[in-house]
Amino acid sequence: MLRRLPTAALLLAVLSVLAAVPGEPSRAPAAAPAVPEQAVPEQADAPPLTAEVMDRARRVAEAWPGSEAERIWRTGYYPALGGETWLPEDFTSDDGAFAAFLDGRIDLATDFPPFSGTGTVSFPDGTSTALPLTDPRTVYEDRIRYRDGCRNEPCDTRLTVTAVRPSTRRQRTSRGTVTAPVWEFVFAGLDHPYAVAAVQSQAPFIDYSVEDADLPAGVTDVVLASEEEQWLEGMVRPENCADARPGEVYATADVLVLIGRTTGRPRTCPEPSNAQYPRFAFTRPLGDRVVLNLAGRPVLFPELVPEG
């Protein structure tokens, strides 16, 4: 279940490391007529689901087959988190090192390695692809860009980078668990490095999600999903923190489009996150159908396969 994935939740809630999947996909017709596969009975405390929302879901479903995004999903490098990062296991939410990291109080005491050439992504089917390496210097510059002032205490803490080196990490993608090249940043005093994917996702740009302001009251977009026995568990983050309700599923032969539902009634957001985990039921086996949100971005990826 999603709530058992603390790394992904921490990246989303604290660092906003969001997969950017992009571009306007081509609009090929769906392979079969589409209807809502699960209609959750309306409740008195929630606004009704409008034709506008169902039409949006229909257009998302029709746009996926034959699109560039689908081609990369099936044959290319499409990671669950595009510019993925791996935090040091030494970090805890209340320590000075993590506070310094979040505020960008990071000093550089080493040189950057060469980054010309390519890095290899190895897929579980035995194939691989070579992609241009990113510049590790930009990773450091991005981390220190907003280091003026103090937003996270203790404010007198700093981190020092003592080495920047190439390595690899296991990564969730549309094609299963891959081995991907990363840049590792070694910090003085920490046993584990900070790692950043050293190649970029091949997926075209798609908005991460549809903002609540662009959806009717009582509807919110899905951020992530996990597969259970006969249903999906979605992760939603309604901006007004209204309580989540069971979601709707708009299904075709190729895709499921998840529609997040809430009561529509604003409430005080809990700290540190307003993430909620409603169920999305559907009637036929998922098979190889792709699960999308209302922005047209895939939200369900194969689980990370343990090493060994």
The full DSSP string for 265-298 is: ---PPPSS---B--EEE-SS--TTPEEE-TTS-B
Closest of 204, 224, 210 to residue 299, by C-alpha: 224
pLDDT of residue 150: 87
117 half-sphere exposure, CB direction, 13 A CA radius: 7
pLDDT of residue 9: 37
| 228 vs 213, higher pLDDT | 213
pLDDT of 204 above 50: yes
Tell me the mean pLDDT in the region 66-90.
94
Tell me the mean pLDDT in the region 69-89.
94
Tell me the mean pLDDT in the region 110-134.
95
Distance in angstroms (rounded) separating the CA atoms of residues 227 and 290: 12
pLDDT grade for 21, boundaries at 50, 70 and 90: very low
pLDDT of 259 above 70: yes
How is residue 124 annotated by DSSP? T
pLDDT of residue 212: 96
Tell me the mean pLDDT in the region 43-63.
83
* pTM to 2 decimal places: 0.83
pLDDT of residue 15: 40
Closest of 218, 258, 259, 225 to residue 239, by C-alpha: 218
Distance in angstroms (rounded) separating the CA atoms of residues 134 and 300: 26
Contact 298, 60 (CB under 8 A): no
pLDDT of residue 27: 27
pLDDT of residue 81: 87
Tell me the mean pLDDT in the region 199-216.
95
pLDDT of residue 94: 75
Beta bridge partners of 291: 256
pLDDT of residue 172: 96
- The per-residue pLDDT for range 227-258, each reduced to its tens digit, is 987 899 999 999 999 999 999 999 999 999 99
- The per-residue pLDDT for range 7-18, each reduced to its tens digit, is 333 333 334 333
Contact 296, 254 (CB under 8 A): no
Cβ-based neighbours of 98, under 8 Å, separated by 6 or more: 91, 92, 152
- 111-141 per-residue burial string, b: 16 or more CB within 10 A, e: under 16: eeeebeeebebebeeeeebebebbebeebbe
* Cα angle for residues 230, 203, 307 (degrees, 5° grid): 60
Distance in angstroms (rounded) separating the CA atoms of residues 146 and 106: 11
Over the chain, what is the mean pLDDT?
A: 85
